[in-house]
C-alpha cells in the first residue's frame, strides 16, 4: 500500500511498525499507548521532513482506525496527550469496527468519549467492505466465522460485511462513506481486500476526489 501511494505521487509515506506481539498487547491500554506513541513519532517525522508545513493524512485498518480516532482527540490517554488533529487533517479507516454491540472495552471507550467525527477540522473517510460469503472471493475461514463475528458487532446474523466487520459498524457516523463490493477484511478472509490494487485505487480516488455520502 505504501509503495502504491508513493507511485501515485504522495511525497512521503511512513508505516507504523507493528509486530504480532505489539498487536496482541493492544487488548490493554498500555498496548494502545505503545502504538499511538509510534504513530505520533511518525507524524512528527513526516512534518519535519516536509518542505511545506502541510498536515498529515492518517490511514488505519481495522482496530487501527479506531485507535487513530483516539490519537486525534485533545484528551489525555494513559498519561499522554496526543492532540493529533493539530498535525493531521484527514483520517481514512478501512474496515474499522467503530460501533459494536459487544465492543472491547477500549473501542467502546473511544466511541463513548469521541463519537462520530469528533474533531470538526478533520476529514473523516470510512471505507467498508461487502463480501458475498458464497462467492469465490470469500475464504473458508470467512464462511465459518462471519456469522458469529457479525452477531457480536451488530447483534444480528443476517447482515453484510467484510467477513469480520459488518458494514454498519465500519461506517462512522458523519464520515464520508464508501462501500466496496467483493472486499474482504484481510487476506485471511478473502482473496481481495482493502490493500488489493483494484480496491486501493478506488478508495484512494474517493478519498482525494469523491464527495461520498454522510451517514
Kindly report the CATH number assigned to the domain that includes residue 101: 3.40.50.1820
Would 213 be classed as within a structural domain?
A: no
Q: How far apart are alpha carbons 210 and 168 in whole angstroms?
A: 20
Quick one: pLDDT at residue 34? Answer: 96
Quick one: pLDDT at residue 53? Answer: 63
Find the domain containing 80 and state its range: 52-208
Would 199 be classed as within a structural domain?
A: yes
Would 169 be classed as within a structural domain?
A: yes
Would 192 be classed as within a structural domain?
A: yes
Quick one: pLDDT at residue 142? Answer: 94
Residue position matching grid coordinates 504480532: 20
Quick one: pLDDT at residue 214? Answer: 39
Would 40 be classed as within a structural domain?
A: no
Would 149 be classed as within a structural domain?
A: yes
Quick one: pLDDT at residue 84? Answer: 97
Split the chain (215 residues) into runs of 10 and give each run's mean pLDDT.
Answer: 93 92 95 97 89 86 97 96 97 96 92 95 97 94 93 85 96 96 96 95 94 46
Closest CA to 171 of 128, 122, 111, 200: 128
CA distances from residue 71 to 65, 78, 96, 123, 209 in whole angstroms, order as listed = 10, 12, 15, 14, 25
Would 64 be classed as within a structural domain?
A: yes
Query: Angle, to 10 degrees, between the axis of helix 105-113 and the axis of helix 63-72?
Result: 40
**Prediction pTM value:** 0.93
Would 153 be classed as within a structural domain?
A: yes
- Looking at the structure of the chain, the number of domains it has is 1
Amino acid at each position: 500500500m505504501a509503495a502504491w501511494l508513493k507511485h501515485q505521487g504522495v511525497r512521503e509515506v511512513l508505516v507504523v511498525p507493528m509486530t504480532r506481539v505489539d498487536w496482541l498487547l493492544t487488548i490493554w491500554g498500555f498496548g494502545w499507548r505503545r502504538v499511538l506513541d509510534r504513530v505520533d513519532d511518525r507524524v512528527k517525522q513526516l512534518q519535519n521532513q516536509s518542505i511545506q508545513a502541510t498536515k498529515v493524512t492518517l490511514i488505519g485498518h481495522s482496530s487501527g482506525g479506531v485507535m487513530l480516532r483516539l490519537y486525534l482527540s485533545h484528551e489525555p490517554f494513559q498519561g499522554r496527550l496526543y492532540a493529533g488533529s493539530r498535525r493531521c487533517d484527514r483520517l481514512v479507516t478501512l474496515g474499522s469496527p467503530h460501533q459494536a454491540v459487544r465492543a472491547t472495552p477500549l473501542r467502546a471507550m473511544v466511541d463513548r468519549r469521541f463519537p462520530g467525527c469528533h474533531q470538526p477540522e478533520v476529514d473523516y473517510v470510512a471505507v467498508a467492505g461487502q463480501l458475498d460469503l458464497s462467492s469465490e472471493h470469500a475464504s473458508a475461514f470467512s464462511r465459518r466465522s462471519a456469522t458469529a463475528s457479525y452477531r457480536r458487532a451488530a447483534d444480528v446474523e443476517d447482515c453484510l460485511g467484510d467477513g469480520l466487520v459488518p458494514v454498519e459498524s465500519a461506517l462512522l457516523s458523519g464520515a464520508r462513506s464508501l462501500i466496496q463490493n467483493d472486499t474482504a477484511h484481510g487476506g485471511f478472509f478473502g482473496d481481495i481486500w482493502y490493500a488489493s490494487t483494484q480496491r486501493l485505487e478506488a478508495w484512494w480516488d474517493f478519498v482525494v476526489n469523491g464527495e461520498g455520502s454522510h451517514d
